[in-house]
Amino acid sequence: MPELPEVEVVRQGLQEILKEQPVLEKVELMRPDLREPIPAKKIRTLVGEKVLSVDRRAKYLLLWTARGGMLSHLGMTGTWRVAVPGDERLHDHIYLHFSGGLRLAYRDPRRFGYFDFIADPLTHPKLKELGPEPLLATFTGQSLWESLRGKEVALKVALMDQKVVVGVGNIYASEALFAAGIKPSLAAKSLSKERAEVLVGEIKKILTRSIEQGGSSISDFAQASGESGYFQITFRVYGREDEDCLQCGKRIRAKVLGGRNTFWCPHCQK
């Protein structure tokens, strides 16, 4: 599933494609639902409006007009692309037609994505209870430490809780914990303020570096341009079970925490 860096890369691609603020001329739905029903009437109220910006909240994309916006989640296999006439593909579920002949296509073979009308991010049910954005200055070691007080779950599991911090996800939680030298099974409530500062710094660095490298293309992720990311070639622990640690030479271990595969070095992460 695309995580925050991958969604941010898609956002940047869509922002570049829509930078001239074209007018939305038609919303063409090839099916009535994805993961949930698509509110066609509400979304079509945006026809005739310019797309002013493309924003991101957690793993959601927000295409804004003066009258409201379109909220998109890529699910596990969702992609957006420019689709010229004749470029219709199996599993294309949504076409957005804009002035100047521009057409965007949303393709999603497994249909776990989400598409909705949005008026206010503070009140939309998918967004209103989300935690802080990890790349903003407001996400600090102090704020993370405070949010973990009393949490008995493993730290890796807590980092994937969208009320603690949004968008870190399975890959980047494993990588950040390795970079910070912290064992993923540590009880979240046991993380010290000092180590929380280190961990937050590593989360910010790793997410930023992944965005710069186009995200991690494992499974079906592709940028809006159709290109793959390549951050996965720099993974230090994720997906490297039984391989030698690149830092100390010991074997990387793996176990399931919170239902997700977790990777760590028993020597580097005490």
Q: Which is catalytic among the residues 111, 151, 183, 260?
A: 260
How confident is the prediction for the chain on average, in pLDDT? 92
Q: Is the pLDDT of residue 156 over 90?
A: yes
Asked if 59 is an active-site residue, the reply is yes
Residue 51 lies in a domain: yes
pTM: 0.90
For the domain that residue 31 is a member of, what is the CATH number? 3.20.190.10
**Residue 217's closest CA among 239, 233, 204, 203?**
233
Instruction: Indicate the residue among 83, 118, 153 that finishes a domain.
Output: 118
Task: Look up residue 131 and give its two tokens.
Answer: 């935690």
pLDDT over 70 percentage in the chain: 93
Residue 239 lies in a domain: yes
Model confidence pLDDT, tens digit, residues 246-262? 999 999 999 999 999 99
Q: How far is 249 from 226, CA to CA, in rounded Å?
A: 37
Assess whether 152 and 77 both reside in one domain: no
Q: Which domain holds residue 250?
A: 141-264
Q: How many CA atoms lie within 13 A of 125 on its CB side?
A: 3
pLDDT of residue 234: 74
Is there a contact between 67 and 29 (Cβ–Cβ < 8 Å)? no
Q: Which is catalytic among the residues 59, 81, 107, 156?
A: 59
The total of structural domains in the chain comes to 2
Q: How far is 202 from 196, CA to CA, in rounded Å?
A: 10
Q: How confident is the model at residue 59 (pLDDT cuts 50, 70, 90)?
A: very high
Assess whether 179 and 247 both reside in one domain: yes
Asked if 255 is an active-site residue, the reply is no
pLDDT of residue 216: 55
Asked if 89 is an active-site residue, the reply is no
Q: How confident is the model at residue 228 (pLDDT cuts 50, 70, 90)?
A: very low
Residue 123 lies in a domain: no
Q: Which is catalytic among the residues 2, 22, 134, 184?
A: 2
Q: How confident is the model at residue 169 (pLDDT cuts 50, 70, 90)?
A: confident
Asked if 31 is an active-site residue, the reply is no
